[in-house]
Amino acid sequence: MVPEELQYTEKHVWVLRTGEDEVRVGITDNAQDQLGTVVSAHLPRVGEDLITGQGMGQVKSAEAAFDLYAPLSGKVAALNDELASNPGAVNDDPYGEGWLVAIDLTDTGELDNLLDASTYERLVYQG
């Protein structure tokens, strides 16, 4: 399941453009499936500056941890506060209620560096 309307990174993060300069970010279905039942999400703070490729947190299951890398540069605009009480939303609805952070972009041109759905699907499922 790789939604066409999203863009992706090779590090299994999805990006949805929600405004002219804002995106919503989460981990892919493939990532949450490999991770197992999510028990916590350690995310950056609202207002924190992110740089593409730099670490921005971690999603943990009982068995493993998944390091999060910023897909784009910008400032953290919002966090999914629901994850504090319901981290399993990442498993149940990774492309919807399980989103992680919203970012106000520094440079919307960076969106051109992300993968489209078919490229991500080939990367993940065809090796």
- Please write the tens of the pLDDT for every residue from 9-47: 999 999 999 999 999 999 999 999 999 999 999 999 999
CATH label of the domain that carries residue 99: 2.40.50.100
Residue 54 has pLDDT above 90, yes or no: yes
For the residues 60-84, what does the mean pLDDT come to? 96
CA distances to 42, 44, 95, 122 from 126, in Å:
31, 32, 21, 5
Average confidence (pLDDT) over 61-69: 95
- Give a yes or no: residue 126 inside a domain: no
Q: Which domain holds residue 90?
A: 7-117
pLDDT at 127: 65
- Residue 127 falls inside a structural domain: no
Quote the CA–CA distance of 73 and 95 in Å, as a whole number: 21
Which tokens is 13 given? 């993060």
